[in-house]
Homo-oligomer: A and B are copies of this chain.
């Protein structure tokens, strides 16, 4: 890969930070990472900073043990182990998001199960597993801060595209950056819609979920949404 390939990937990571902040998936907290496109044993993640503010210079390189390659005094996200854990156990995954989007959170402290209720919700897949840090690590401040915790969460995620952290938030894993962003935005919409409905609900069938998951590989959907979000958050300028 040329330098320009890496640069483009890192620019996309900056854009993804802005998009997710603007679409209210991320707020002051939460983060998104990508695997190094050439070195699968490395990943990129911003220094400790709110996603809306992240610039190219804030991006740091890490190994899969979450050690910084070149820290230069920058403060690190305490929860970077979420990213390291998933990149380690899921060689197919190239982008990871950890977020606390408001519509998702009620599903982390109630018994209501997050399930696809409209076609776009199908992208989160048939199963969204729950992970409770308390099960194995007892009373904590709920942040995922040790490699042990990060790996435990990654195991709970398994081969799924998304998992919920009880009383805390969610993780999303994508084969590509755009897939991860698309999944995060539309699973959040699905949560919002599910909470707004009343009475007995109807869900997508397993067959429908399998079909809608393919949207994640359709350029017509991926590109249209990416252009839209990049324009909305001001990264792309009008024609």
Contact = CB atoms under 8 A, between A and B. Distances in A.
Contact of A48 (B112, B166, B224, B238): B224
Nearest to A210: B139
Contacts of A53: 227-228, 231, 238-239
A228 B111 CA distance: 33
Contact of A139 (B27, B169, B211): B211
A224 B141 contact: no
A6 interface: no
Contacts of A122: 141-142
Contact of A118 (B118, B168, B200): B168
Contacts of A138: 207
A105 B78 contact: no
A205 B138 CA distance: 10
A48 B118 contact: no
Given A102-B192, A168-B119, A215 B48 contact: no
How many copies of this chain does one complex carry?
Answer: 4
A155 interface: no
B193 A106 contact: yes
Interface string A79-98: 00000000000000000000
A201 to B, nearest CB: 6
A208 interface: yes
Interface string A184-215: 00000100110111111111110110111011
A36 interface: no
Interface string A102-140: 110110111110000111101000000000001000111
Interface of A: 27-29, 48-50, 52-53, 55, 75, 78, 100, 102-103, 105-106, 108-112, 117-120, 122, 134, 138-143, 166-169, 189, 192-193, 195-205, 207-208, 210-212, 214-215, 220-221, 224-225, 227-229, 231-232, 238-239
